[in-house]
Amino acid sequence: MSDLIRRFGTTLTVLAVVLTAFWLLVLVIFPYLGLFEQSFRPYLPVVEVGGPKDFYSINNYLAMFHNPTDINILGLQFQIPIHIWVFLVTIIYSCATAIVSLLICYPIAFYMAKVIEPKSLPTFLLLLVIPMWVSELLRAFAWFIILAFNGPLTIVLQSLHIITDPVRWVNGLGGYSGVVIGLVYAYILFMLFPVYNSMSSLDTNQIEAAEDLGAHWWQTHWRVVVPHCKPGIASGSVTVFMLAAGSILVPTLVGSTRSRWFTEIIQQWMFESQDWNTGAAYAFVLLIVCTIFVTLMMRFFKVGLADIAK
């Protein structure tokens, strides 16, 4: 605090602290505490709120275990509650979105950090950022059109004689291929820039030294580049996973008739059923799992919050 006062003065420091505290308390902590308290209370008519039926319980959380359905996994039949299954699928494909984003962004980030000429970098960055100036809703609609049964992608591939019959692109991966494609496109820059920032701080002499010592290109990346970029990879993976798991527009617009996203169920509870109590319980389950994912990623990459924040 004393360093901030010396640098910015007392007035600006106090103003920054007050605004930060207001943002954290009024816009984040208090609303979450309110939802957390409501998640343990039953959904009741207004006249019964505060009455004998209004008591705390975990029934809203147990609602996830209702309505079991038959699920076929690798030819084996299982009975799993439908909302538990949708939750697991959401987590799995959110992880897949983060992995695909990393596989795409890693070579691009390396090219930007170590290969491209510095004078060409601003133009390259501009080309990457311009598509993101369009709203997420319009970009999701664009992918809905591209992946349509007789959409532009099908027409181009048919004209190149790569395919003969129209393909339902959104039916792959159990109906989630369109969702993964849309999520990767929507949030890929949240993976690219942290990885690029980590790579740009790597001394090129270390890469050249590894090559001079006879290391193959994959050994150089695995033993030199990747260890240095662990904070950026962890930061990008955490961000993309959490954005994908909490997305509602892309799964709704680009998903197939067989795909359901957990946020769609939360929206259904809150806005269609008007049951904010159960919706709040489902939302906190998702929040807890995302927090666990962040913790696991930090342990896996052996980084701390300070490293990710950089």
The full set of domain ranges for the chain reads 77-309
**288 in Cβ contact with 35 (< 8 Å):** no
Calculate the CA dihedral of residues 226, 229, 230, 231 and round it to 10 degrees: 180
Question: CA 136 to CA 274: how far, in whole Å?
Answer: 26
264-275 pLDDT, tens digit per residue, is 999 988 888 888
Residue 184 corresponds to which amino acid?
A: V
Which pLDDT does position 308 carry in this prediction?
Answer: 63
Amino acid at 162: I
* 56 phi and psi angles, rounded to 5 deg: -80, 140
Q: For residue 43, is pLDDT > 90?
A: no
pLDDT (average), residues 247-254: 87
Locate all alpha helices (DSSP H) within the chain, ordered by sequence. Answer: 2-8, 10-24, 30-38, 59-62, 82-110, 121-129, 136-146, 152-159, 172-175, 177-187, 189-200, 204-212, 217-220, 226-228, 230-245, 249-254, 262-267, 276-301, 305-309
pLDDT of res. 101: 94
Q: What is the pTM of this model?
A: 0.85
What pLDDT does 8 receive?
Answer: 66
Structure tokens at 160: 């190149």
pLDDT, tens digit (0-9, with 9 covering 90-100), for 46-83: 777 778 878 888 988 998 888 888 787 777 777 888 89
* Burial 41-78, CB ≥16 within 10 A → b, else e: bbbeeeeeeeeeeeeeeeebeebbeeeeeebeeeeeee
Whether 283 and 264 have beta carbons less than 8 Å apart is answered as no
- Superfamily of chain region 77-309: MetI-like (1.10.3720.10)
Q: Which of 172-176, 245-249, 305-309 has the lowest mean pLDDT?
A: 305-309
Q: Which helix (H) or strand (E) holds 70?
A: strand 68-73
Residue 203, Cβ neighbours under 10 Å: how many? 10
Mean pLDDT estimate for the chain: 84
Percent of the chain with pLDDT over 70: 94
Q: Which amino acid is at 213?
A: L
| Separation of alpha carbons 94 and 96, rounded Å | 5
